Structure 1
Amino acid sequence: MEELQADETPTADGVSGRDRMRGQIVEVAAGLLAAGGRDAVSTRAVAAAAGTQAPTIYRLFGDKDGLLAAVLEYGFSTYLADKPPLDPAADPIADLRAGWELHIGFGLANPALFLLMYADTQPGKRPAAAEAGLAILRTRIRNIATAGRLRVDENLAAELVQAAGSGAVLALLAVPEDRRDPRLPDAMFDAVVAAITTPDTTAPGGTRNAGPTTAANALRAHLPELGMLTDGERHVLGEWLARITH
């Protein structure tokens, strides 16, 4: 088979032949991953399906791990594009639930990609795609803190939500589809929300039980807005508030 050349010259649409070939290979690899899991994404199989040769893959991606990292970015970019927009004015818990439901749906619809992203990772090294999702989650957690409803510090809350969401998907994927309990994701969400938030005091029957931790979380979330303080003062105040929330 004659190897396709990765031309660096941009075409009329501004995309070089190299980038076009790279995108084609990633799409082919993503299809093989979805159909047969990680083992199906060999350089030989991807090259054959993409109409090129293995040296092209090594030149564009370095090795198989580099190709899989590109597939993760490709798959997760679609996931992020489908995420509901962040709305600071919305109910922060409802906003968190919308992101949770998309996360669960994405994992169940793309099991091989999800396993690659959350189960087949190196210790201490989170894929860039997962980091991007966590950044969005942290913003949703910040909105809960701003509303004065976060009972634990923001980092712990974000890690708890991510662990619970990923754990729920992995638990569901571990059993045959016809034996999965559809109540699990909602039950898990309710449990983690109860662990990280206080009751809504504006809801009917709501009672105020904020306490110093919740108040400190809310003030920390508003620190960037405190323009009457110097950078040094905001830094010191942030350290004090962090001591309260930990």
Structure 2
Amino acid sequence: MRLEAITWDRLGELLAERLLDLRPADGGAWPRVAIDGAPAARPGDLAARVCEALRIRGRTSLVVGTDGFLRPASVRLEHGRQDVESYYSDWYDTGALWREVFGPLDPGGDGRVLPDLWDPVTDRATRSPYVPLPPGSSLLLHGPFLLRHWFPLDLSVHILLSPGALRRRTPGTEQWTLPAFERYAQETDPAVTADVLVRADDPRHPAWSG
């Protein structure tokens, strides 16, 4: 696969332009985008850039991070604070994402999306209000392991870090999560299955193919 050098700002603009003409495959009114990547790859930063580029073009979007849909600590940490299997399979409330984020954007849905559900700092429900998305608005969901859940996506973006870059850019207190990303790469191969691939070993000089 050939990758071309690009800036993050330009990438955000190109993805936004692509979304302007994107029609959901299921006939719904809201394009749904996943920006997938390990925390060290900072997928939320790219989601914010796309959101801003869409705003400038007169199009509404909503950025949702999966870190707002973590399960309660009693579930997340049942097997310890550094259990790789739990991190890979049980930390994120995918059922709530289906129900509160994707369900309202199904054909015939009301477009009212819950932007977050759980605050991991207070370990309490956020009680955030629902956000109404006008037809034509885009959902920009970001976080790790997104392409293993069969979410109804109209565009998927994976930010790839080599094993060495991922190790270097992951804080020492989070190094225990690295085997989960190795497993994700082996089982899901997001670099191949994503519609758009962004390589970001050097965060100053990303490259992409899409």
Interval containing the TM-score (normalised by the shorter chain): under 0.3
Larger Rg: 1
TM-score, structure 2 as length reference:
0.27
Give the structure with the larger helix fraction: 1
TM-score by length of 1: 0.24
More strand by share: 2
